Amino acid sequence: MKRPENNSAATYLVGGGIASLAAAAFLIRDGDVQGHTITVIEESSRIGGSLDAAGNAEDGYVMRGGRMIESKYLCTYDLFSSIPALDGSRTVTQEIFEWNKTMTTASKSRLFRDGRRVDAPKFGLDEGHILAIERLALEPESLLGRSKISDQFSPTFFETDFWLMWCTTFAFQPWHSAVELKRYLVRFAHMVSGFNTLTGIMRTLYNQYDSMVRPLQKWLQERGVNFLYNTRVSDITLFQGDAGFWARQIATEESGCPKTIMVGEQDRVIVTLGSMTEASSLGSMDSPAIQLGKADGPSWQLWERLAKGRSVFGNPVSFADHIQQSKWVSFTTTLHDPAFFRLVRDLTGNVPGEGGLITFPESSWLASIVLPHQPHFIGQADGVDVFWGYGLFVDEPGNFVKKPMSACTGREIMTEIIGHLRLDSHAGGILDTSTCIPCMMPFITSQFLPRSAGDRPQVVPEGSNNLALIGQYCELPDDVVFTVEYSIRSAQTAVYSLLGLKKSPPPVYKGKYNPRVLLEAFMALHGIEA
Ligand code: FAD
């Protein structure tokens, strides 16, 4: 592959999520590329993509997701070790590690069953389940193929508290890819022993938009990076030559107005393929979030155009065409009365920020909530609290509100959560002083759907001279999707490769080569106390 060598060549980054922002930073930091030569093209009016948080106390805050991170997000910490936190006192990486010494996750209520907390639930695995886990961890991906998790385990596995905690921590479903579960088991082997108390889970000081995206955006803006908002990329024209292919034109629509960006032979194009939050929609306290589809955003359409007749671009159909298997609903609740947080603290034995995910096993929605440390937003007023939650089975009628979660208003979702917490006597006061905003995400677990080898394209597709593919749907051996780390690793891989740098991203951490990690995981799976 011929590498562009001119560092004043233009770079176009399609999509404004963390993958593109990270790519811009690596271009500047490690490739000596000048910021003003980089353009981020984003369809929406703000950057951050899936790594979002917005709103205010009056109208209600919204986070489509609340992210857990951990100590082996090596590319993430590498990137953010160069990015100052917003107050300039330290780097974002330092802020994260210092914060997690102050607020260490130690759940005393990972499951909240029958109105009571379960402290450090037992995994409940039998020998057959453990053998199946061990076999899956060893089985080559090529043999697992498109198989589902449910193809690899007996039905009783899905009744264990291990599965209940695993599927709600990571949002897995029995019909998801066995390869993906295998990767998770291996990648997070070092976390299995503390899994029932969420030991090792790290958080950012504020929500991830305020703690990660904003400092990174500021750093990029200070270096002259251009941001094109409200601009969709509808197609990328490729030129096929004897020495491979080049991206030569980018077709955009800016507020409905078509334009063409000409791409020179030395220029680069880095595309975030697909998006787990594509076509997501918000409801309100009194209206449900409606379900949109593939045609309601440009992300899948662009990938489909690129992949048409070109197998090196993978197969978007595996991820984009199964909304029934990939959707779920999250919600963000803003509270103007401290009672709810105080009551949940007393019920769970954890102060906000300490406990992490609390799952209600009886919930027919399989609902979970997280009460983060407050304030969770920069500028959040005293006396206002914000928490996040989600449900995995959104078409099942609730236990208290006899409606599917997908059809519920924010008020109904809060009523259901209050029911599971047995806080009915406080319901009126809580509902009168809170704003709950539901969010329907049709593609939220699309990256977990069964896939064949080649469905996820390589970061630099074979034959490409100036185009790379990043984000959650490209292939990075060993690492796991549905993580910030995967997007940042893909960006680092793309930049080093396109610039021809003699550098590599930090290798994926492999706890399986650490005997202590293996022993602790083995003991935990068998329920042997350390
Ligand atoms: P995205 O953030 O999806 O960015 C893609 C961007 O490209 C979007 O802004 C989109 O508008 C834009 N775009 C797409 N197509 C076009 C086009 N054609 N033209 C112009 N713009 C376009 N990660 C963790 O590490 N831990 C967690 O616990 C965790 N939990 C999560 C929970 C939820 C509910 C969610 C939503 C995410 C969670 N994540 C978690 C995942 C993490 O947030 C994502 O993996 C990451 O943010 C994806 O970043 P990205 O840049 O690859 O893609």
Please answer whether residues 435 and 60 qualify as being in contact, where contact means their C-beta atoms are separated by less than 8 angstroms. yes
Nearest CA to ligand 1 atom 48: 50
> Ligand 1 centre and the CA of 185: distance in Å?
23
> Ligand 1 centre and the CA of 272: distance in Å?
9
Percent of the chain with pLDDT over 70: 99
pLDDT of res. 529: 80
Nearest CA to ligand 1 atom 16: 299
Burial 290-310 (b: 16+ CB within 10 A, else e): ebbebeebbbbbbbbbbbeee
Please answer whether residues 42 and 253 qualify as being in contact, where contact means their C-beta atoms are separated by less than 8 angstroms. no
Out of 67, 184, 271, mutate this one to test ligand 1's pocket (max ligand atoms within 8 Å of CB): namely 67
461 CB less than 6 Å from ligand 1?
no
From start to end of 242-282, where are the E strands?
244-254, 257-262, 268-272, 281-282
- Tokens representing residue 128 in the block: 């057959």
Please answer whether residues 232 and 298 qualify as being in contact, where contact means their C-beta atoms are separated by less than 8 angstroms. yes
Q: CA 34 to CA 20: how far, in whole Å?
A: 16
Helix (H, G, I), strand (E, B) or coil at 138: helix
Q: CA 108 to CA 119: how far, in whole Å?
A: 5
For the cut 50, the answer to whether the pLDDT of residue 111 exceeds it is yes
User: For 458-484, what is the mean pLDDT?
Assistant: 97
For the cut 50, the answer to whether the pLDDT of residue 234 exceeds it is yes
User: For 237-243, what is the mean pLDDT?
Assistant: 96
Please answer whether residues 481 and 170 qualify as being in contact, where contact means their C-beta atoms are separated by less than 8 angstroms. no
> Ligand 1 centre and the CA of 20: distance in Å?
10
pLDDT of res. 190: 95
Per-residue pLDDT tens over the stretch 381-411: 999 999 999 999 999 999 999 999 999 999 9
65 CB less than 6 Å from ligand 1?
yes
> Ligand 1 centre and the CA of 287: distance in Å?
25
Measured from the CA of 21, which atom of ligand 1 is nearest? 51
Nearest CA to ligand 1 atom 9: 49
Of the candidates 162, 21, 4, 9, which has an alpha carbon nearest to the alpha carbon of residue 471?
A: 21
Per-residue pLDDT tens over the stretch 322-371: 999 999 999 999 999 999 999 999 999 999 999 999 999 999 999 999 99
Place of tokens 């920069």: 378
51 CB less than 6 Å from ligand 1?
yes
For the cut 90, the answer to whether the pLDDT of residue 511 exceeds it is no
Full-model pTM? 0.97
For the cut 60, the answer to whether the pLDDT of residue 32 exceeds it is yes
> 205: Cβ–Cβ under 8 A, 6 or more apart, which residues?
95, 96, 99, 211, 373
Per-residue pLDDT tens over the stretch 362-382: 999 999 999 999 999 999 999
389 CB less than 6 Å from ligand 1?
no
Query: pLDDT band for position 156 (50/70/90)?
Result: very high
Query: pLDDT band for position 530 (50/70/90)?
Result: confident
User: For 79-96, what is the mean pLDDT?
Assistant: 98
Out of 21, 45, 51, mutate this one to test ligand 1's pocket (max ligand atoms within 8 Å of CB): namely 51
356 CB less than 6 Å from ligand 1?
no
The amino acid that residue 234 corresponds to is S
277 CB less than 6 Å from ligand 1?
yes
For the cut 60, the answer to whether the pLDDT of residue 82 exceeds it is yes
Specify which residues 227 forms β-bridges with: 40
Q: CA 77 to CA 36: how far, in whole Å?
A: 25
> 514: Cβ–Cβ under 8 A, 6 or more apart, which residues?
190
pLDDT of res. 5: 53
Query: pLDDT band for position 6 (50/70/90)?
Result: low
> Ligand 1 centre and the CA of 330: distance in Å?
15
pLDDT of res. 256: 83
Name the average pLDDT for the chain: 96
User: For 469-489, what is the mean pLDDT?
Assistant: 97
For the cut 70, the answer to whether the pLDDT of residue 2 exceeds it is no
Query: pLDDT band for position 204 (50/70/90)?
Result: very high
pLDDT of res. 1: 44
